[in-house]
């Protein structure tokens, strides 16, 4: 159970179920953003195929306008949302389960994926790639701290993520 101070100065108990539900909602929305919904025009044409687009001049002009809007939206919001998400996974990992921190670290794979060049470019073009790397480093450090504080997490040795990894990589006391 989490506790926090109310405006009246007393202590209220909050359920971790509420925090977990909030985290799951945030996770779902971020995954929607990362699924590439901003990579296609309103007609469903991928912006990556703009160079080979064979439509008329008016259609091409509309696509280029949409691409420009896409770039503006991406530059304004995506880096901030992703950095915020990494921070949220860090907090959720401390409150709920450190396994949630791996979701933040998985963003590194998403950014590195060639299919998500638009995401990588959002950080490069806004000059925020350093912030992203720093966020990953801070999250990794927080994860190691959690392992040191709570070395015997119940399910960390058996529970595997979607690619089959376990959290044992973060256990500094594990022998190879």
pLDDT in tens, 102-157: 999 999 999 999 888 889 999 999 999 999 999 999 999 998 888 888 776 554 44
Residue 105: partners with Cβ closer than 8 Å, 6 or more residues away: 89, 136, 139, 140, 143
Nearest Cα to 96, choosing from 45, 40, 153, 35? 153
Per-domain residue ranges of the chain: 15-153
Q: Is 172 strand, coil or helix? A: coil
How do residues 66-90 score in pLDDT, each as one tens digit? 989 988 999 999 999 999 999 999 9
CA distance 34 to 113: 11
Q: Distance between CA 101 and CA 103 in Å, rounded? A: 5
Q: Is the pTM of this model over 0.85?
A: no
């Amino acid at each position: 159970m989490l506790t926090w101070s109310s405006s009246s100065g007393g202590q209220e108990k909050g359920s971790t179920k509420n925090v977990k539900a909030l985290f799951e909602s945030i996770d779902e929305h971020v995954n929607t953003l990362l699924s590439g919904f901003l990579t296609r025009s309103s007609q469903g044409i991928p912006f990556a195929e703009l160079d080979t687009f064979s439509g008329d001049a008016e259609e091409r002009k509309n696509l280029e306008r949409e691409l420009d809007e896409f770039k503006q939206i991406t530059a304004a919001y995506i880096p901030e949302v992703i950095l915020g998400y990494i921070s949220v996974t860090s907090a959720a990992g401390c409150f709920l389960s450190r396994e949630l921190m791996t979701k933040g670290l998985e963003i590194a794979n998403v950014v590195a994926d060639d299919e998500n060049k638009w995401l990588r470019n959002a950080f490069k073009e806004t000059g925020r790639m350093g912030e992203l790397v720093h966020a990953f480093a801070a999250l990794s450090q927080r994860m190691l701290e959690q392992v040191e504080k709570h070395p015997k997490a119940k399910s960390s040795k058996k529970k595997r993520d979607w690619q089959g990894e376990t959290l044992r990589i973060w256990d500094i006391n594990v022998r190879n």
